[in-house]
Structure 1
Amino acid sequence: MTERPYILLSAATSVDGYLDDTANQRLIISNKADLDRVDEVRASVDAILVGANTIRRDNPRLLVRSTARRTDRITRGLPENPIKITLTSRGDLDPTASFFTTGPAEKIVYVTTPAVNKTREHLTDVASVVDTGNPLDLHTLLADLAARGVRRLMVEGGGSIHTQFLTAGLANEIHLVIAPFFIGDPAAPRFAGTGTFPHHPGHRMTLAEARQLDDVVFLRYLLG
């Protein structure tokens, strides 16, 4: 079996399973207590991955916010922030996005073969661009990360990325936060889409942890 990182998926959803609404402004589903928990998890991993649509829609920075946690990483001989990773089939990412321009952190863009040259033209000054075949192959991506020393990978979405990792049976655990409201818009992005999942009513995940963080609930599932 090819070596790959330990993979945890992280998401916050409404009660009805949505990651966001359809408004132009990003919806903050989580709360302060949970955002601090997420920051703690970020500080514990070697790399954080989001899809290209998440970069376009949310413009995330993907940095460790806590000064103490960044200092602790440096003390342990780690980079101040985890590696930032995205994957794209088209390569049409904005090099001025916060993903590329904020914080001291290595950035890697995994891209399909037909878009490699285009992506390198746009992003060569801000990120490493890696060809992962056509269609983009997660196993190739994960093998490359393992070769780079990545042992723990945090996947922060969006829904299509979560679905790819889950249906491929590649996730080791899920960190799922549920907020006390509904979105109810079928056009809004969901935590996971349609697909054939290894975990179904006849093969349940293991609930390893459940706790309240102010008005949200944090659930940690092990996928085995």
Structure 2
Amino acid sequence: MDVIVNAAASADGKLSSRRREQLAISGADDFARVDRLRAASDAVVVGVGTVLADDPHLTVKDDDLRSQRREDDRPGNPARVVVDSSGRTPTDAAILDDEATTYVCLSEAAPVDRRMALADHAELITAGEGRVDLLRAFATLQEEGLEQLMVEGGGELIFSLFEAGLVDELRLFVGPKIIGGRDAPTLADGEGFVSEFPTLELAAVDRLDDGVVLTWRVDDR
């Protein structure tokens, strides 16, 4: 399995403002790059916080890219995956529409009524007691035939994936904005590392829009 984290951050490393409102950090060229990466992936992964804040659809926008997937005998859109320990994903969330298969990864602590409600809209994966065991959940996704996963946030999930040693590559658009705020989300939130920091090997630097796309491979797996 290949796990690619893709994100857009301001020049000071913020994913959004302290209000956690979605901001346009990149432009049209980067949106097209993200769409191509989605189209090349088997699934797009987000945390429940991103679902609650942004209500993303996470489908391929370009008609030609969807057509190419179908010509390759693949669904027009990649699968969608929500990491949601307690089952907070609303049943009317855009990510649960019928445009693509959606998997919701739950922990054993998720209430039965939430499991039942979500089971009508998604494939459920249970892994872990109080929170989702990402190693087990991703192993199940691989058993489902999902080999390339594109992770689109948020910061809590991205940190947890680095902590679990699951990230293979990081692609980060750094845009020409200063957002600031000690409470604004960053690329990797969570508890933070105090030792054995993941290290990255720079693979590419590409200028795009008014920013740059930095591509790193994780070299301490």
Specify the alignment match of 2:58 in structure 1.
Answer: 62
Choose the corresponding residue for 2:39, options 37, 43, 47. 43
Choose the corresponding residue for 1:18, options 14, 19, 25. 14
Does residue 92 (structure 1) correspond to residue 83 (structure 2)? The answer is no
What is the DSSP-based 3-state SS (H/G/I as helix, E as strand, rest coil) of the residue aligned with 1:115? coil
By how many angstroms is 1:120 displaced?
2.0
Tell me, which stretches of 5 or more residues in structure 2 are unaligned?
A: none
Specify the alignment match of 2:119 in structure 1.
Answer: 124
List, as ranges, runs of 4+ consecutive aligned residues in structure 1 with deviation greater than 6 Å: none
Aligned residues: 216
Tell me, which stretches of 5 or more residues in structure 1 are unaligned?
A: none
TM-score (norm 2): 0.93
- Identity within the alignment, %: 32
Choose the corresponding residue for 2:150, options 126, 149, 154. 154
1:119-198 aligned within 5 A: 119-134=114-129, 135-193=131-189, 194-196=192-194, 198=196
What is the DSSP-based 3-state SS (H/G/I as helix, E as strand, rest coil) of the residue aligned with 2:109? helix
Choose the corresponding residue for 2:106, options 108, 111, 130. 111
Please list the CA deviations of residues 146-181 of structure 1 after superposition, one character each: whole Å capped at 9, or x if unmatched.
100011000111000010111222100000010111
CA contact (8 A) 2:20 2:185 kept: no
Specify the alignment match of 1:212 in structure 2.
Answer: 207
Please list the CA deviations of residues 79-127 of structure 1 after superposition, one character each: whole Å capped at 9, or x if unmatched.
11011000112112211111112x5200000101021523322212211
Please list the CA deviations of residues 171-205 of structure 1 after superposition, one character each: whole Å capped at 9, or x if unmatched.
000000101111111111111121257545xxx41
For the aligned residues, what is the CA RMSD?
A: 1.5
| Aligned equivalents of 1:24, 1:83: Cα separation in 2 | 25
